[in-house]
Structures are given as structure tokens and as C-alpha cells.
Amino acid sequence: MWFILNTVQFIMIALWTVLLILLVFLMLLFKQRNAAFFIVEKLWSPVLLAIAGARIQSEGREKLKKINDSVIFASNHQSNYDIVAIINQTPRHLHFIAKEELKKVPFLGQYTAAMGMIYIDRKNKEKAKESLIKAGELIRNGRDVVVFPEGTRSKDGKIHLFKRGAFILAKEGKVDIIPVAIKGTYKVNPPTGLKLRPGKIVVKYGDIVYAKDFEDKTVEEFAEFVKNRVEELYNSID
């Protein structure tokens, strides 16, 4: 029963995604970038949540109203639905740092490139460094960037070591970080297999972490501090 239902759901997700990517390309063709973001935030993400039967809410979103500068959102990563959830709940246009392999995915690869997302080749340190420099340029130009510092989805639901890349970027570029905890996506869309299950998703935003407070700290200390904040947020979600 679940196999048949999930197959239908993933077909619906694929068709809806392709349709909206085509609409996004049309908006970008006419240089309507805000309209393109509207399609993703207000049409794509809520429908994907509805297809999965996911109920979503956020906590701490009011903190974002006090932030005028561009920031890095650093979140735990348990599911592909983390991307859907944070787009849906964050009242800012988000750009993602994605793995290089995403470029090869039909439609999705072209879409992410057109929207100015950043790819990282995790197998090539020099290219990865170039990608981080590009991310820094995006942020300085007023764009908010989302990173999943664990580097990949957690297979056991736990929050694992935060890698250094995003924190090198934040430290050198003096970019502040918003810790984010996402809970519930592991159940809704587990990282292994093609499964969708109804459930509740919560996106919780923490207090801003100022890069200037870590000028005399190591990158590892910076990363560990943010990881601890994310874990605290995650554990505080009911």
C-alpha cells in the first residue's frame, strides 16, 4: 500500500517541480527574479508539503525581523525535505550551497544554476575553495545563504560534526550566522529509500551568532559553537 502511494506522490512531486521550474525560467527570461522566488516559496514548497501530508510550523521566526544584513543560515540535515521546510518558513529569499552532482539532475540542475545557487565539488579542495569565495560574494551582494555543515544527510537522525567550510567563509567574510534546527523531516522523508510519511515538521531559528565574536577563535571552535546551538534548538522542540 505504502509503495503504491509513495510512487504516486513522487510522480506528483516530479511533475509539479518540472512545471514550476519552467515557470521560473520564464520569469527569469523577463528578469522577474522576485516572481521566480515567489513561485518557489509560495507555490512549490507548500504543495510538496501537502503531497507528503506534512504539517509545518516555525519557532523563533520573529528574530529574523531584527536582522538587516545578509546572513548564513546553518542547519542540521536529515532529509531532502529540509530544503522544502526552510524555504517554506523563512521570510527571506534563500540561496543554497549544493553538491556538484546536482548539476547533472535534469531541470533541477538548470534551475539551481539559473537562480544563482552555489555548487561545491567536495572531491576537489581548490574548486571547493573557489565556491566558498563565490558564496562570500553573493552574501556581500545582499543574498542570504543556507548551508548544511554536516555535508550530507544524517542516516541515524543525530546531528554530526559540522565541517569547516561555511565557518571559514563566515570568519573571513565577517558574516553572521543564524543557527537553525529542523525536526520531523527524518520521519516525513527518511534519507534512505523513496519514502514519504505524514508528520509534523518544525523549523526553529536561534539567536544570531556574530562572526566578530570569533575573530580570536579557531574555525573549529566557531563550528563547534554553532553545532551546539543547533543541538540545543533541536532538543528544545517538542
CATH assignment at residue 125: 3.40.1130.10
Whether pTM > 0.85 for this model: the answer is yes
Number of structural domains in the chain = 1
Q: Per residue in 88-119, is it b (16+ CB within 10 Å) or e — as a string? A: bbbebbbbbbbebebeeeebbbebbebbebbb
189 lies in some domain:
yes
What confidence category does residue 19 fall into, taking pLDDT thresholds of 50, 70 and 90?
very high
Closest to 66 (Cα-Cα) out of 224, 184, 217, 208: 208
Reported as a single tens digit per residue, the pLDDT across 49-92 is 999 999 999 999 999 998 999 999 999 999 999 999 999 999 99
230 lies in some domain:
yes
22 lies in some domain:
no
34 lies in some domain:
no
- Give the domain range for residue 109: 56-236
The reported pLDDT for the residue numbered 185 is: 98
